[in-house]
Each structure stands twice: as structure tokens, then as C-alpha cells.
Chain A
């Protein structure tokens, strides 16, 4: 068998193992091990099997992950999510559909300290869903806005997936994180506009509220959001100004969150233990996948597929934008079936060289790719956000949740299109950094 053929079969095998419920990281390791044995030798494969997992797990730039996660966990365990939601509600809750908009807004702020989609979705779902139910919002719009807001968790920095993109492609992590800011804000606007349109078309899905909060009430509530904003400014601002490396920003951010939680007595021993416990578990599950991804990526590299495919696509006489759209369409379809992290790690070694060969900006593509795989988090059969929401609101039928996110998906696609037409929106902030 030629190495290329082994590479193709290996890629198929990974997907088969995924569907056999073998954990994603384990599937990737199995195929990496067997594939390398076939192309090279078993002694080579076992040397890699020991070295790569250890090297990956002691990689300085990856060590930002547990610390950013810890920062998010500590603040969500302090119960500050509630205050945050109230505060945003005071400001925009009186518009028609205002609670749904407040859900997007508080997701956005929570995202600024959370690196993960699941953490953002779960936290905001727990707070916002009961509130919207109280005001008799239709389940479609309430769950739809929570699911949409959750996707901001990995677009607005910090974002674990953007960090991984940097690791896998060697794009600079600090600049990647910064490049998510404007697209994140744009996405927020698109979601809010979508809600406004939905409410205009069918006012009954979101009954109006009776009264506007006074200005003093508003500012009083706003005061509660400062730890989020403060930590965001310190960690991401520090990266932007070049004061910190991303790892240092994460460490200082986690320390700041801990210090705030302890000093304000918003966290007790149990909650403190809980946030550490959850942070290391999330890290373990993400890193098992990354370890698998690296082993699988090394196997793909020696199969020569990425090199061959890159030169093949490079020689196609097609408009680069057509190839880009084709790649995004494939990612979109795969994203419906494969968990977004796993999707990124198996496709990036192949896709990234092609994209850069076509002359597209690697940072820009990172943001675009994350927005596309994000959509997969909202679609059946594997829409992870939808299942998280289902976990929080067991009474709402899955179908209703899936239908509720359709307009949000359209908003996300629209946002991707805008960013393809105006790539400067992604690249201007990282460019200004230098």
C-alpha cells in the first residue's frame, strides 16, 4: 500500500471509530499508531506514542488552556452570572424581545472570560431560560437565543479553540485571540437584529415588559459586571499591549478571578473545589483530543497527503474563492456530524496549507473556520449546544430547540459572508498590534 492510500484509509477509519463511540482522542491515537506502524515501523510508532503525548502535555503555549478555563470556572461558580444577566436586562430588557437580546448581551460579556462554548451555554441557560419562561417567551426564541449566545464563547477572546488553531497552524496565539474581537461584536449585532426581526414578524413569541429601569438602577446594576470587564481588559488588554504572553495573561486572569472571588467572599470551599475540579476535567478531555490530534497529524504528515493535496489544489485553475467556499461547505457538513474540536484537528493539517497556498490570511481563516464549525454546534444530529440546553430545560422538545436556532444559523452565515467580503474586519486589530 502506498503511504497516501494508508493516509486516506486512516482518515476514513477515524470517522468510523468516532461513530462507534470510541472517545475522539482515543480514536485519533489508535489510527495514528496503526497508520504509522504501516507506513514506517512499529518501533517508530511506539516511540511516537510515548513522546508525542508527553511533549504535547508539556507544551508551554498550550498551558494557557487550563488557566483560562479556571478563570471562567471560578467566576461562574461565584454565581455572578445572575447579576450579569440582571444588569444587561436593565439596559436593554425593555425593548420588544429585550430578554432574548439581554441573553445575547450577557453571553457576550460572559464569553469575555470563558474560553468555551459549553461553559457559556450552560451558565447562561441556567439563568436566562427560567427568566424568559417567567415572562412567557416562546421556547423557540428563548432557547435559540441561549444557543446563539453560547457560540460567542469561542469567538470573543479568550477562546480555547482559537488557541488550538494557533497551536496546530503555528499562527501567533496572541494575535489570533485579538482577531476574534471585531467578528464577535459583529456577530452580537447580527443576533440582536435577528431577534428584532423575529419579534416584529410575530410579536407573540416575546411579550413586552411593563417598565423601563431608571438610570440609577441601570448604573447600579452595571457595577456588578466590573469583574468580568476588568478581567477581560487585564488579560486580553495585556496581550494586545504586549505586556503578557497569552499564557501569562491566562495565569494572571485566573489569579485575579480567584483573588476577587475570595476577597468578595463570593466563593466558599466547596465552590472553590468545584471550579478546580471542573477546570482540570475540561482540560483533560480537551488535551486527550489534542494529543490524539498531534499523533494523527504526524501520521498524516508522513502519508504525504497534505503535501500532495496542497499541490493538487494549488494547480487547479479555479478561482480561490470558489475553493474557499467549497472547503467551508465541506466543513459545514462535517460539522453537523463531528464535534468541532475533533473536526478542526482532523481537517486543519489538510486544509490550512491549501488556504495559505491560495493566498488567504491564516489568522483570518482561523476566525472564519471557527464561525463555521460553531454552526455545527447548533445543528442536528450532534448540536452540542442544543443538548446542553436540553439538559438545563428538559421539558422543551429537541425539535423546538432545533427549529429555534434556524434564524440564528442564518445570522451566523450572514456574518461569515460579511467577513469574507471584508477580511479587514478580522485583521485590522492584530495588524494594529504590530
Chain B
């Protein structure tokens, strides 16, 4: 009897019981999490950079293109669209706000800026995304 009490009050037993209690508590959180997620089975999941996917075919075997934008591309203010484009179009290198490449993605806040940039670069659109960005090629 004494041995049993001693065993029950041992450090090992105490830690095991506390750990099991913790597992019980955490499992409740996990179950709640699981139930919330499993009730949204039809929520569509988009690949990052889907808005640039239409340019993929035009960029086969192209090493580098420009990515011109007037959006705030600082890391704090969502460099996301640039990185999303880079992810989607890899292994093509995107050069942020560099105009020297022959092909450029124009991702502006308004179509007016896009048209203005195309004119100043003497380029023509070769593909456009329904989400706004345009892929333009410089004219000889």
C-alpha cells in the first residue's frame, strides 16, 4: 500500500498526470480547430500569384523580365504581388522596376498608368490578366 502511494506521488507520476491533463486541454482546442476547418470543405484555395498565371506560357525559356509597378512594394506594405509574381513565373527572374528587359509586366493601380508606361517604353501588350496586370513587349 505504502509503495503504491509512493509510486503515485512520484515525480514521474506527477509529470505524467499533468502532461495528460495538458493533452486533454489541447486536444479540445485541436478538435474545435478541426471542426471549424472541416465545415468549409468547398472553400477554394488559390495558388499564390494566380493573377499572373496567364503570362506563364509567353515566358517559356525567357531568363529575365521587368516588373514595373507604382504600388507600395515595401515588405511591410505587402511586397506580396511582386513575390507572388516571382513565385508563379519562376524560373524566370523578375527585375523590380527595371525597364531594360524586352518584356515587362505592368502592374499599376490604374490602367491610365499602364497605358502611359507602355507608350513611354514603346511597347505593346502581348497578354493581359483579368486581374489587371499586363505583359508588354518592347517594339523594335
A and B associate in one complex: no
Interface residues of B (CB under 8 A from A): none
Interface residues of A (CB under 8 A from B): none
